[in-house]
Structure 1
Amino acid sequence: MGGSAKDRAGRPSAAAAEEYVAEVEAVGREIQDPVAKLRFLRSSLRDYPRLAPVDGVPSGRARRILYRWASLESLRGLSAREPQAAGGPGARRKVLVSRAAAALTLLLAAGRLVMGLAALVVVFAVGSAAYRHARPNADPVMASVPGSASVGPVALPPRAGLAPASVWLVEMGAGFELYSNGLRIDNTYEVGGEPRRFRVFDRTSGLRGEVQSRPVGILFHTSESDVWPLEAAYNETLRDSTQRLLRYVRRNHLYNYVVDRFGRVYRVVEEETKANHAGHSVWTRGDEVYLSLNSAFLGVSFETRWEGGHALPITQAQFLAGRNLSDYLRARWAIAADMCVAHGLTSVNPKKHLIGHHVDWARGFPFEAFGLPDQYSRPAPAVVVFGFGYDEDFLKVMGEPWPGVREAERALSEEAARAGRSLEDLRRERQQLYDRWLGEQSQAEEATASGRAEPAPAGPAGG
């Protein structure tokens, strides 16, 4: 009854909401800083109910102009407080406003003088309200479950209820697999990759001869893709963003799995084949040393931005799905708990011999809640085995290295003291060993691919 464009509470219609979101997104694309962009989006969303009068403008073109103008006024208020939110030089805004004025002039010339004057009044009222109420939100936009930067996340969902005795395949259908722990895997994006082939180094004897083809670890990533507010008004944008990410990951064979904002788990690159997720990286287990972990480790990426790890940057749905996925992968491939690690703890710059080339999950991954050991307290392998360091850029992001880096530095210093050597001398020796082993690994991989004889090993690490 009463089929109005607005409901009886005076709220804007669904069509108007779509128009408003489209104009806000258009303005938001001009903001380069991701945090400022998210704050602008949330601020604009809060102001949206005040724009109900615009829905009464009969011309769709005029409504879009008014929404764009209101969004620019909101951005102006935000950029006055946060310069990084400014989308470009002032001329860009003047061009947009001039286009709006020109469009309204054409509407007036077409005989809609009354509507045009009313629209101008609404513009000034909405712009003034947007300017007064556009305030940056100091809380992390993406954190739905709080975490601690120093002692790990807290108040995470516990493991409650009856758990299955094991993880097994319950049902398989067109495009999905369902497992006994509740994990549902969407395999509609699944593609094959290159075969897994890798060798392991031994700290006492160097490169081992046997070629392995089963994954031995899990590397957790963040996608660092666009992340939108987890709110109903952005539902279509959230879905579209995920689909674009999945297509990109599939095209470049980036990860074996992606967990989206709604907790949906997508298998992208087959588990039996490698994904291009790890880059130059280092991890160890006992005397076993693994370099460049693409082949040895499965890549699991959460659709989010890490944003420094001061708050858990994933949704509750992602947390639960990621934990179930980890349980499934560990059960299927017999992966040890200490071989499940965050990408940021393994990533290195081989030319500069520095840790933290990528820092996703270098702080804040919920290891304990996943049933895994705290990898942040473990001595950093790249430091203790290969003498790697870190630079000012690393400290600008991290503030302080994770505890395992300090522990590794302490162990390296003690080793140098026992040997009567300077720490820098020991570091150079270990870095040279890394260079030799990396070169040897590359030659061995080329030899395996071509069937040529493999090179002689470079020897053990230290001692």
Structure 2
Amino acid sequence: MTAVARGSPTERYRRERPPVSRECGDELTRITDDIDDPIVKLRYLQNALNEDGDKSALVQLVPIPPARRAWYRLKGLRALDAVADANEEIAERTLAARQTARRVVVGASAAAMLFVPVLVAIVAWQVNRWRSEPEQVASVGSSTEANATAIESTTAPLVVPPTTTATLTSPASAEEAPVNQPPVAEPLAAEDIGIVPSMLWVADRGPGWELYSNGLRIETSYTVKGTPRDYRVQTRDGKLLPTKFDRPIGILFHTSESDLWPLEPGYEKELRKGSAALLRFVKREQAYNYMIDRFGRVYRIVDDDSRANHAGHGVWARGDEVYLDLNSAFLGVSFESRWEGGRTLPITRAQLIAGRNLTHYLRQRFAIAPEMCVTHGLASVSPKRGLIGYHLDWARGFPFQAFGLPDLYSQPLPSVALFGFNYDSEFLRTMGERWPGLIAAEKQLADEARQRAISLDELRHERQTQYRRWRAALPTPAGPEPTLETPASQTADKRG
């Protein structure tokens, strides 16, 4: 994973040099179109960007766009003096273009001098009119106040209740944040726990897409068929139930951990190419059942009846049931994003809305219980090292309540409570703190060790031996099972 401190090349460049305006960049680009020699072109751009750098703010104060562009062009043409001596043709074109730019600047300045007095006169006339008609001002004010009151009373606040481990950011610290931050989702109203729309149906469909009654649109042009689901469930006392299941029982939420371009104007082409490359990779590796891109488009990658290679080795439990083959038992839903510690919500509002609609659809179609909608970071383990948190995406910060789901960060972690998995210093460095469910699971384990008069290490060893025995009893999946045994902190995600 790329370190945040290093940043992308775009971010490093912006820290080293203040960015030029789009108008200035366009004018410099037009000038360099006539320079064929790349060395001469580079030397010219360096001179143009370094010459009169403090005056750029003055140019931006000019209120007339044609005048600003002509001024930028005039400044850029001056910088051609450094390279014009080497090329007579460039020198001739420079002289003609400079004369034209001067004429535009002078004409626009004259127009501005005529326009400003007229504007001042209009403003003065309007102010005198307002003073002579106080009743109208009061009427407008009371009407505005009434409208504001009506809007305030009918609009529910869009707030995502924070999880118990979320860290609130003060206004002062928010102002000091870097400019190029990953996009953070706007808040979305929380839904009642466990509530799913009573009925969802296909409202329309066409080649490569499906539209559902809750507004969910699923793009199906990337869909492939994988290995059929085939798994069995164990009970807490170690019994392997005889029934084989071929339908998903839960949803596992991921982040793609792929490289991201700034979500802002000017990067449309890069954003499209990045998402397309990620979709091709996910399709080739059959990595997830669903992918939600940064604009909220939902793609079905591996069809619902097939297992995707999204969970690796994971553990989850509900009541007396224990699930160890999460690839088969759970649908993998990934957001195109980077988790980055979960201190802020790392997805856009469009992704949040699309993810909630997709969750409603999947829960209704497969009768998925709310406590079976879990995050990858809560379920992922490394069996050989006996540690939790092999993958940490959504180990903190998933908006469960906004999705109408219970807060699973407060539920005792099954991998710790049932199988004695531990964590290392690298895990604590990344997380900074333990979430309530992890603390509760450790307390359960410690209480049992004390009741049985054995050490905590002995109990952990016994439970992890039991985990390996239970996993060996499971049927071998038809498809290849991933072997993920390198610590997450030392593994570069191949999806990025």
Say whether residues 1:186 and 2:219 are aligned partners: yes
Instruction: Select the residue among 55, 58, 83 that pairs with 2:29.
Output: 55
Q: In angstroms, what is the RMSD of aligned CA positions? A: 3.3
Q: What SS is found at the alignment partner of 1:284?
A: strand
| Residue 435 (structure 2) aligned to one of 383, 402, 418 | 402
Of 215, 238, 252 in structure 1, the residue corresponding to residue 271 of structure 2 is: 238
Distance in 2 (CA, whole Å) between partners of 1:223 and 1:106 is: 48
1:226 aligns with 2:275: no
Task: Kindly report which structure 2 residues correspond to 1:64-463, keeping only aligned pairs within 5 A, or say none.
Answer: 65=42, 111=88, 114=91, 138=178, 141-145=181-185, 155-157=187-189, 165-441=198-474, 444-445=475-476
1:428-462 CA-to-partner distances (Å, cap 9, x unmatched) read 10011111112222xx226x89xxxxxxxxxxxxx
How far the C-alpha of 1:69 sits from its partner, in A, is: 6.0
CA distance in 1 between counterparts of 2:385 and 2:94 reads 64
Gaps of 5+ in 2: 51-80, 96-175, 480-496
Instruction: Confirm or deny: 8 A CA contact 1:223 1:301 kept in the other structure.
Output: yes
Pair 1:36 & 2:7 matched: yes
Give the 3 Å change call, closer, same or farther, for CA 305–315 of structure 1 in structure 2.
Answer: same
Specify the code of the residue in structure 1 equivalent to 2:185: V
Aligned residue identity for 2:210: E
Separation in 2, partners of 1:181, 1:375: 25
| 1:188 alignment partner, SS class | coil
Q: 1:112, 1:308 → 2: CA distance?
A: 57
- Over 3 Å counting, the alpha-carbon distance change for 1:144 and 1:205 in structure 2 is closer
Q: CA deviation at 1:264?
A: 0.4
Equivalences, count: 360
Q: Offset of 1:400 from its aligned partner?
A: 1.2
Aligned mates of 1:367, 1:68 — CA distance in 2: 50
**Which whole-Å deviations, capped at 9, do the CAs of 1:19-52 have from their partners, x for residues lacking one?**
xxxxxxxxxxxx8758611633766795443545
Encode CA deviations 1:207-248: one digit per residue, 9 max, x unaligned: 222211110000000001111111121111111111111111
* SS across alignment from 1:177: strand
Distance apart, 1:424 and its partner CA: 1.2
2:324–2:471 CA contact under 8 A, matched in 1: yes
The CA deviation at 1:56 is 4.0
Following the alignment from structure 2 to structure 1, what is the Cα–Cα distance between the partners of residues 215 and 27? Answer: 47
TM-score, structure 1 normalization: 0.71
Return the alpha-carbon distance in structure 2 between the equivalents of residues 435 and 207 of structure 1. Answer: 14
Q: Distance in 2 between matches of 1:65 and 1:256?
A: 47
What is the Cα deviation at residue 362 of structure 1? 0.5
Contact 1:282 1:381 in 2 (8 A): yes
Q: Is this contact kept in 2: 1:356–1:390, CA < 8 A?
A: yes
CA distance in 1, matches of 2:323, 2:92: 70
Structure 1 unaligned segments of length 5 or more: list them. 1-30, 74-103, 119-135, 147-154, 450-463
Give yes or no for contact 1:107–1:116 (8 Å, CA) kept in 2.
no
> CA deviation digits over 1:185-214, x for unaligned, max 9?
000100001010111111114222221111
Q: CA separation in 2, counterparts of 1:350 and 1:370?
A: 31
How far apart in 1 are the matches of 2:266 and 2:369? Answer: 42
User: What secondary structure does 2:428 align onto?
Assistant: helix
Task: Write the distance in 2 (CA, Å) between the matches of 1:375 and 1:66.
Answer: 58
Aligned partners of 1:42 and 1:229 also within 8 Å: no
Give, in whole Å, the separation in 2 of the partners of 1:338 and 1:319: 19
For 2:92 and 2:419, how far apart are their aligned partners in 1? 72
1:166 deviation in Å? 1.1
